[in-house]
Amino acid sequence: MTMRSILFLSLIMAGTCAAREPELVQRPEPSARLAYADLALDTPAGRDALRARVETAVRAFCRAHGDTVTPQLIRNETGYCLDTLRQSMADAMPEPVRRAYYRR
């Protein structure tokens, strides 16, 4: 084989590999949703219901996505997903809702 044919074959192989590149599938990032508009946050029962809904949403999310959202080095820390998501949800709440969430 001559140098020219080796170069030609390598270019063909490179072109074949580039043409067969798999399509990257864009999956949406997992997210947790929380509805609280129907709660009376000025009452203890409403605030308790808000905390219960946050806990339900956090547990459902972590059960479904905990392995994919928890860094591999700390997957043995069972509370990481729960604590992190709970804090993220509280941070994303509007100020009055967040105050009601932390108020006992």
Which residues contact residue 47 at a Cβ distance below 8 angstroms, ignoring those fewer than 6 apart?
Answer: 39, 41, 100, 101, 103, 104
With 0.85 as the threshold, say if the pTM is over it: no
H or E segment to which residue 103 belongs: none
Instruction: Report the 10 Å Cβ neighbour count for 59.
Output: 16
% pLDDT > 70, the chain: 77
Mean pLDDT, residues 1-26 taken together: 55
Output the pLDDT for position 5: 47
Task: Read off the pLDDT of residues 48-66 as tens digits, 9 standing for 90 and up.
Answer: 999 999 999 999 999 898 8
